[in-house]
Amino acid sequence: MNIILLGPPGAGKGTQAKRLEAAYGVKQISTGDMLRAEVAAETPIGLQARELMEKGQFVPDPIMVQMIENRIAEPDCSQGFILDGFPRTESQAVALDSMLEHKGLKINAVILLDVAEEALVRRLAERVGEDGSRRPDDRPEVVRSRLEVYRAQTAPILPYYEQNGRLKRIDGMQTVENVAKKIDDILATA
């Protein structure tokens, strides 16, 4: 089972992807987490990504596409994966389809978590990590920029997935448990 979770910053992609990983035995691939690991390790990609992420801007498509291509080829993704944070641009979406076709893989479900902007801002303002730390890009001015970038670059890819009825929308304003149930319902028929 291969799944794409789409949605604006703070929509609950990571929350739901972690649950799906445990429930379905498929691997969460969070491009945000992968980039934060590169930043922490001060790799060449991390050094390039840090400044962009701190401003709420996207990391260039070729880097992201290569990162995903390498990641889905790893053995722990052989039972399936959940893409959390990828694709985010039309170029990433097109590259993903051609990459999967080449590998003989397919996406079983593309799920969009729909959440009103004021709720996103509130959630990200309140979010703390397991160790009580805050993400630098959850500062209000960076959240504003992330939302603008989402509107300009990611929202326009939704029609790409609406073709052939591929996109399933879920009201992400419900409780975590109710959102999870809606996802399960979609996956039961995927």
| CB-nearer residue toward ligand AP5: 6 or 187 | 6
| CB-nearer residue toward ligand AP5: 112 or 187 | 112
Least Cβ distance, residue 73 to ligand AP5 (angstroms): 17
145 burial via Cβ count (<10 Å: 0-12, 13-18, 19+): middle
Contact positions with ligand AP5 (CB under 6 A) in 87-116: 88, 92
Q: Is 182 in the site for ligand AP5 (CB under 6 A)?
A: no
Task: Select the span of 19-27, 38-46, 71-79, 174-182 touching ligand AP5 (CB under 6 A).
Answer: 174-182
Integer Cα distance of 13 and 39 in angstroms: 21
**179, 113 Cβ separation under 8 angstroms:** yes
The region, left, alpha or beta by phi > 0 then psi within -120 to 50, assigned to residue 45 is alpha
Q: What are residue 5's DSSP bridge partners?
A: 84, 111
CB atoms within 10 A of CB 157: 19
Contact positions with ligand AP5 (CB under 6 A) in 35-64: 35, 52-53, 56-59, 64
Contact positions with ligand AP5 (CB under 6 A) in 69-88: 85-86, 88
Is 109 in a helix, a strand, or coil?
Answer: strand
Which residues define the annotated binding site for ATP?
10-15, 127, 174
Q: Which residues bind ligand AP5 (CB under 6 A)?
A: 7, 9-15, 31-32, 35, 52-53, 56-59, 64, 85-86, 88, 92, 123, 127, 137, 146, 172, 175-176, 179
